């Protein structure tokens, strides 16, 4: 492990290759680069999840922590670990201060594993438009987490507006277990559904499950608001006033009742962030089923037809602040040069 | 592969949705000989792992059948222990509690009509109580000698019939699939007559291994290897399956079979088939089978068996720091046993692609370490524009598929040694499965049991393949019948004669 204070991007690249050589990991099979964007206060949580995901899918892990973007001088601190605290692979934790935070790609680009896919995950609130963040531009897969935004449902709507193939949201990953059980239940019944209701809190995950059922079944699917943090129950009306009910019992199991078959207990565990992230990085192509579900919930159409490529849109928080307070024009000039 | 009849009507299933796992129809798995070693070490843990991964259907039942005087609870306890000790995924009580609610035990011997009636009744009852429909798979984890009795019982009670049960009925058999062509034909005929040929799953657990399936991806998903995968470029191919263990508690079976029947006939010939076959038109079971059959049909045994079919038997020696007994001193083995614990043979594949390329196969017990690999050795470059001294350390280019352990692929080629002299030496480029995908690879049995329940035949050899493999082995066994095996010391890489066999061809065994 080496720690570099107030360093440069080139020194980080050199330190990484020196670490690799001394660890004897030159032939390390890198399947992908995972870029994690997070705030200082949630670093620990993000590190834990990324470590779990890296254990499942060996990758080069780049943690980008942006701090004090209004600090007067740009500064980079970096920590390089191989086979240490952050899992079996290589990890670089970078703290970027001042205006460097707006140009994080200048440090991360040379650190990407050669010709391997890049996944960027915003642990906290993602940029309003992914294109605002250069770390989202070069990524093949972009993972957001609407559930962590202050107004989660508005964020989900925004994800649909801003969607490009290759985007997914962890709210969608949270529905996988539910979806597997419901799909398996339908394997053993040939009855056609007429309508369905999802009982759960109004969260992006519930919304996406509703969206998925709408897009797949083509029938009315309602969201019935309940309290708690997690989806509670899915009830599908079948022909002839019969019902298929999947209800969560506790944090690990659910009961499934099918017409004429009685009730059965099925595993339905709450997964932690690491598991969710590991599921996300398993697939590196775009998830059209997610696009369909998102489209069905939000009403935004043609998601899969969009281009998977984005062009960076320069947006400077200092400039925006300056626009609100017309006094500080010096900053604007500097921002213009920096871009 | 038969299409699952439920999927087209299920609107929630979408081929693009690869997050959702394939889950079998509601069904029962009936294991005969459930208190045996295989069931405890492999089957029950695999079922637990499937449950833990959420891959068992909502209606599932595990029915154990054995002679031991057990109640449901005793069996549940045994199964729990087995799962705790041998499962791949972490043991979780709540998963087990749910699974154990669907475990039952039926006590009886194989010739006991009452016991089979009870079994049939239990299956029928659980159609409703456990919602398994009419579906059941029967796993015969029993000695082949008991097959006829058990199969007849199943026929008598109607358990084996798809139409009587109103669902599917499948049977899983383990090797040995007979001990020669004739006996395997009889066995196949018997099993196929009770169950339909499409409902018989013969387990060769090597085919469940990720690395073996990767062989197909390596060959047919890349442009890099297939153009040179033929006699123009390949010098020879070596298949090795070495074990460091002795015969354990299997003396009775092993002494009547020997290494060739135990390993060569099934695992190694299957590996050979996958390595040498032409590209299948698709990856479904029947297309794969067609190609494998073509290759197995083209395998020829050398005329000079004296020199190219070697067998050995281990003597006492030192292995991994401990003294181990010789084969004839193992418990249960006759002192004058002629059974081989090592077999090496040179085969040819008589096709345009492989004409003249020797395929060397070897397997043995009490070899220095446990390893299975396929090494494809390429021809030397026709002309080397270097001084002869520059390339003394340059060997054949080699592609090695490591089936186990250290699953992966190694490519060996020559590279210049740094310095002012032109000196070329072998280096290797390594792909290690565990480094690129550590995502828990399922155990072979986990994958295969799931495939049985899903009705996917691709990874199971069919009877014609088994019979064709015996056609290769029978002449060897006949030749060996009245000869003594060569001796080798435990902890050595086989008898000297095997090394001489390759030396005669100007080659040597790769040290794995």
Burial of B395 (0-12, 13-18, 19+ CB in 10 A): middle
Once rounded to an integer, what is the mean pLDDT over residues B198-211? 88
CA distance B77 to A124: 47
Q: What share of chain A is helix, strand, coil (3-state, %, to 5)?
A: 40, 25, 30
Residue B379 in tokens: 């021809």
- Three-class DSSP category at A13: helix
**pLDDT band, residue A194 (cuts 50/70/90):** very high
Verify whether residue B205 is a known catalytic residue: no
Residue recorded with tokens 């181990």 = B324
Catalytic option among B130, B179, B205, B267: B267
Supply the pLDDT for residue A330.
46
Beta strands in A226-332 (DSSP E): 233-238, 242-248, 253-258, 262-267
At what angle are helices B147-157 and B181-194 packed, to 10 degrees? 20
Residue A296 in tokens: 């069905």
On chain B, the residues whose CB falls within 8 A of the CB of A252 are 94
The separation between CA A122 and the C-alpha centre of its own chain, rounded to angstroms, equals: 6
Q: Do A253 and B19 make contact, defined as CB atoms within 8 angstroms?
A: no
pLDDT beyond 90 at A102: no
Supply the pLDDT for residue A129.
93
Supply the pLDDT for residue B434.
67
Residue A66 dihedral angles phi and psi, to the nearest 5°: -95, 130
pLDDT beyond 90 at A150: yes
Cis ω on the peptide bond leading into residue B405 (within 30° of 0)? yes
Sort strands A87-97 and B299-300 into parallel, antiparallel or unpaired.
unpaired
Once rounded to an integer, what is the mean pLDDT over residues A220-224? 94
Which residues does A275 contact at the CB level (< 8 Å), separation at least 6?
A: A52
Supply the pLDDT for residue B435.
62
Cis ω on the peptide bond leading into residue A176 (within 30° of 0)? no
**Contact criterion met (CB below 8 Å) for A128 and A158:** yes
CA distance B310 to B302: 12
pLDDT beyond 70 at A337: no
Sign of CA dihedral A142, A147, A151, A157: positive
Once rounded to an integer, what is the mean pLDDT over residues B39-44? 91
What confidence tens digit (pLDDT) does each residue in B360-416 have?
A: 999 999 999 899 999 999 999 888 888 877 877 788 999 999 988 888 899 999 888
Supply the pLDDT for residue A239.
87
**Contact criterion met (CB below 8 Å) for B8 and A189:** no
Minimal C-alpha gap between B221 and chain A (Å): 17
* Mean predicted lDDT score pLDDT of chain B: 88
CA distance A202 to A228: 10
Q: Do A283 and B18 make contact, defined as CB atoms within 8 angstroms?
A: yes
Once rounded to an integer, what is the mean pLDDT over residues B76-94? 90
Beta strands in B261-370 (DSSP E): 299-300, 309-315, 317-319, 322-324, 342-349, 358-364
- Nearest by CB to residue B439, choosing from A27, A56, A256, is A56
User: pTM, whole model, 2 decimals?
Assistant: 0.81
**pLDDT band, residue B343 (cuts 50/70/90):** very high
For residue B375, CA distances in Å to B155, B267, B360, B400, B480 come to 45, 15, 10, 4, 27
What confidence tens digit (pLDDT) does each residue in B246-300 have?
A: 887 788 888 888 999 989 999 999 999 999 999 999 988 889 999 999 999 999 9
Once rounded to an integer, what is the mean pLDDT over residues A76-101? 88
Alpha helices in B158-281 (DSSP H): 162-165, 181-194, 210-220, 251-257, 259, 269-276
Burial of A53 (0-12, 13-18, 19+ CB in 10 A): buried
**pLDDT band, residue A24 (cuts 50/70/90):** low
Once rounded to an integer, what is the mean pLDDT over residues B301-326? 91
Q: What percent of chain A has pLDDT over 90?
A: 50
Once rounded to an integer, what is the mean pLDDT over residues A293-312? 93
**Contact criterion met (CB below 8 Å) for B413 and B377:** no
Sort strands A220-225 and A193-200 into parallel, antiparallel or unpaired.
parallel
Q: Do B12 and A31 make contact, defined as CB atoms within 8 angstroms?
A: no
Supply the pLDDT for residue A326.
58
**Which range (A38-42, A189-193, A307-311) has the least confidence?**
A189-193
- Vertex A163: Cα angle to A196 and A303 (nearest 5): 60
Once rounded to an integer, what is the mean pLDDT over residues B66-78? 87
Alpha helices in B299-334 (DSSP H): 305-308
Residue B197 in tokens: 């040929």
pLDDT beyond 70 at B346: yes
CA distance B327 to B247: 8
On chain B, the residues whose CB falls within 8 A of the CB of A183 are 10, 12-13, 20, 23
**Which range (A114-123, A330-339, B484-493) has the least confidence?**
A330-339
Beta strands in B265-407 (DSSP E): 299-300, 309-315, 317-319, 322-324, 342-349, 358-364, 371-378, 398-404
Supply the pLDDT for residue B166.
80
Q: Do A218 and B11 make contact, defined as CB atoms within 8 angstroms?
A: yes
Burial of B506 (0-12, 13-18, 19+ CB in 10 A): exposed
- Vertex A293: Cα angle to A290 and A296 (nearest 5): 150
Q: Do A267 and B51 make contact, defined as CB atoms within 8 angstroms?
A: yes
**Contact criterion met (CB below 8 Å) for B378 and B396:** yes
**pLDDT band, residue A327 (cuts 50/70/90):** low
Beta carbons within 10 angstroms of residue B391's beta carbon: 18
On chain B, the residues whose CB falls within 8 A of the CB of A262 are 131
**pLDDT band, residue A331 (cuts 50/70/90):** very low
Residue A197 in tokens: 């209701």
Most confident of A106-115, B173-182, B250-259, B366-375: B366-375
pLDDT beyond 60 at A334: no
Sort strands A59-67 and A87-97 into parallel, antiparallel or unpaired.
parallel
Mutate one of B20, B132, B454 to test the A interface: name it (highest A CB count within 10 A): B20
**pLDDT band, residue B241 (cuts 50/70/90):** very high
What confidence tens digit (pLDDT) does each residue in B430-451 have?
A: 887 766 665 567 788 999 999 9
Sign of CA dihedral B85, B87, B93, B96: negative
Supply the pLDDT for residue B416.
85
């Amino acid at each position: 492990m080496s720690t570099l204070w107030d360093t440069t991007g080139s020194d980080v690249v050199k330190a990484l290759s020196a670490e690799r050589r001394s660890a004897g990991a030159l032939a390390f099979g890198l399947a992908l680069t995972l870029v994690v964007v997070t705030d200082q206060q949630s670093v620990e949580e993000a590190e834990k999840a990324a470590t779990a995901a890296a254990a499942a899918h060996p990758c080069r892990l780049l943690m980008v922590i942006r701090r004090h973007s209004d600090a007067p001088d740009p500064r980079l601190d970096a920590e390089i670990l191989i086979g240490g605290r952050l899992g079996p692979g290589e990890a670089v934790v970078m703290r970027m201060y001042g205006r460097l935070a707006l140009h994080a790609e200048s440090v991360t680009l040379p650190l990407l594993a050669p010709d391997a896919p890049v996944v960027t995950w915003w642990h906290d609130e993602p940029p309003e438009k992914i294109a605002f963040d250069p770390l989202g531009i070069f990524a093949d897969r972009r993972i957001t987490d609407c559930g962590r935004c202050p107004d989660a449902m508005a964020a989900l709507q925004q994800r649909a507006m801003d969607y490009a193939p290759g985007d997914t949201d962890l709210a969608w990953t949270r529905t996988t277990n539910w979806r597997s059980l419901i799909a398996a239940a339908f394997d053993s019944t040939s009855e056609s559904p007429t309508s369905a209701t999802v009982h759960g809190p109004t969260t992006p995950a519930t919304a996406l499950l509703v969206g998925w059922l709408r897009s797949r079944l083509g029938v009315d699917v309602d969201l019935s608001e309940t309290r708690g943090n997690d989806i509670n129950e899915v009830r599908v009306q079948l022909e002839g006033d019969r019902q298929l009910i999947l209800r969560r019992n506790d944090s690990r199991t659910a009961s499934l009742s099918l017409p004429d078959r009685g009730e059965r207990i099925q595993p339905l565990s709450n997964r932690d962030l690491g598991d969710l992230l590991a599921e996300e990085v398993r697939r590196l192509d775009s998830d059209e089923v997610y696009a369909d579900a998102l489209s069905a919930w939000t009403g935004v159409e043609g998601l899969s037809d969009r281009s998977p490529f984005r062009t960076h849109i320069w947006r400077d928080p200092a400039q925006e602040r300056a626009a609100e307070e017309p006094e500080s024009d010096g900053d604007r000039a500097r921002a213009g040069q920096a871009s | 592969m038969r299409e699952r009849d439920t999927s087209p009507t299920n609107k929630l299933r979408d081929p693009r949705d690869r997050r959702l796992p394939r889950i079998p129809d509601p069904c029962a798995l009936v294991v005969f000989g459930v208190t045996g070693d295989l069931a405890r070490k492999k089957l029950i843990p695999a079922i637990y792992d499937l449950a833990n991964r959420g891959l068992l259907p909502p209606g599932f039942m595990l029915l154990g059948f054995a002679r031991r005087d057990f109640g449901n609870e005793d069996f549940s306890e045994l199964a729990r222990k087995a799962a705790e000790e041998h499962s791949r995924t972490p043991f979780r009580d709540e998963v087990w509690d749910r699974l154990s609610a669907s475990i039952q035990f039926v006590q009886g011997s194989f010739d006991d009509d009452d016991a089979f009636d009870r079994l049939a009744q239990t299956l029928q009852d659980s159609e409703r109580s456990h919602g398994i429909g009419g579906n059941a798979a029967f796993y015969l984890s029993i000695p082949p000698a008991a097959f006829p009795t058990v199969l007849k019982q199943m026929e008598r009670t109607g358990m084996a019939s798809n139409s009587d049960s109103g669902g599917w009925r499948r049977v899983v058999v383990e090797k040995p699939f007979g001990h020669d062509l004739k006996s395997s034909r009889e066995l196949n005929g018997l099993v196929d007559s009770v169950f339909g040929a499409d409902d018989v799953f013969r387990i060769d657990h090597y085919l469940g291994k990720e690395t073996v399936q990767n062989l197909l991806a390596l060959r047919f998903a890349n442009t890099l290897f297939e153009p040179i995968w033929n006699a123009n470029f390949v010098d020879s191919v070596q298949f090795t399956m070495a074990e460091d263990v002795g015969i354990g508690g299997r003396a009775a079976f092993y002494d009547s079979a020997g290494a060739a029947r135990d390993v060569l006939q099934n695992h190694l010939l299957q590996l050979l088939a996958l390595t040498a076959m032409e590209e299948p038109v698709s990856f479904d079971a029947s297309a794969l089978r067609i190609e494998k059959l073509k290759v197995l049909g083209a395998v020829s045994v050398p005329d000079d068996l004296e020199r190219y079919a070697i067998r050995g038997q281990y003597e006492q020696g030192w292995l991994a720091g401990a003294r181990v007994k010789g084969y004839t001193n193992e418990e249960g083995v006759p002192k004058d046993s002629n059974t081989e614990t090592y077999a090496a043979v040179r085969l040819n594949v008589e096709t345009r692609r492989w004409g003249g390329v020797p395929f060397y196969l070897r397997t043995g017990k009490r070899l220095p370490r446990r390893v299975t690999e396929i090494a494809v050795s390429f021809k030397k470059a026709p002309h080397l524009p270097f001084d002869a001294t520059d390339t003394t350390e340059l060997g054949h280019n080699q592609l090695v598929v490591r089936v186990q352990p250290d699953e992966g692929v190694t490519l060996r080629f020559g590279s210049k040694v740094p310095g002012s002299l032109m000196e070329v030496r072998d280096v290797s480029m390594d792909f290690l499965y565990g480094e690129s995908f550590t995502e828990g690879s399922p155990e072979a049995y986990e994958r295969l049991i799931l495939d049985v329940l899903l009705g996917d035949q691709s990874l199971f050899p069919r009877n014609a393949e088994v019979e064709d493999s015996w056609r290769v082995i029978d002449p060897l066994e006949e030749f060996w019948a009245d000869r003594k095996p060569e001796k080798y010391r435990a902890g050595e890489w086989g008898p000297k004669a095997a090394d001489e066999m390759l030396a005669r061809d100007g080659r040597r065994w790769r040290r794995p």
